[in-house]
Amino acid sequence: MLPELTSKYLNLLAKNAEVEGVIQNVLGRNQAYTQQGIQRVYQLKQAQAREALGIRPEYGAPVMMPPSNRLGGALQIASQIVGIGSGLEGMGLIEF
């Protein structure tokens, strides 16, 4: 009876060591590789599903951007510079 229990116990220890080794490989050094592979497969499947859907329909009229008023902005800057200059001239700091 005792040798039979010893052999069963040794078999149990061997199975336990095998399971621990697999867990160590999965959760240890190979975990990053596994996660990267899973992420790549997921992204591939997602891209294939989006491609299968086709081009999305667009609703409504096309909208154009309002025209930019660059000349007005430049004139406003020039007006501010002239105002600062005339203020400095009025204080007698500069002469034109």
Helix 2-27 and helix 31-53: axis angle, to 10°? Answer: 60
d(CA 95, CA 81) in angstroms, rounded, equals 15
pLDDT value of residue 17: 93
pTM above 0.95, yes or no: no
> For 57-70, what is each residue's pLDDT tens digit?
777 777 777 777 88
pLDDT value of residue 18: 92
d(CA 85, CA 78) in angstroms, rounded, equals 10
Q: pLDDT of the chain along its 96 residues, tens only?
A: 567 878 888 999 999 999 998 888 777 777 888 889 999 999 999 999 988 988 777 777 777 777 778 888 889 999 999 999 888 888 877 776
Q: Please, which residues have CB within 8 angstroms of residue 95's CB and are 6 or more apart in sequence?
A: 89
Closest CA to 45 of 37, 33, 57, 56: 37
pLDDT value of residue 67: 76
- For 58, the token pair is 């667009």
pLDDT value of residue 1: 58
Q: What is the mean pLDDT of the chain?
A: 85
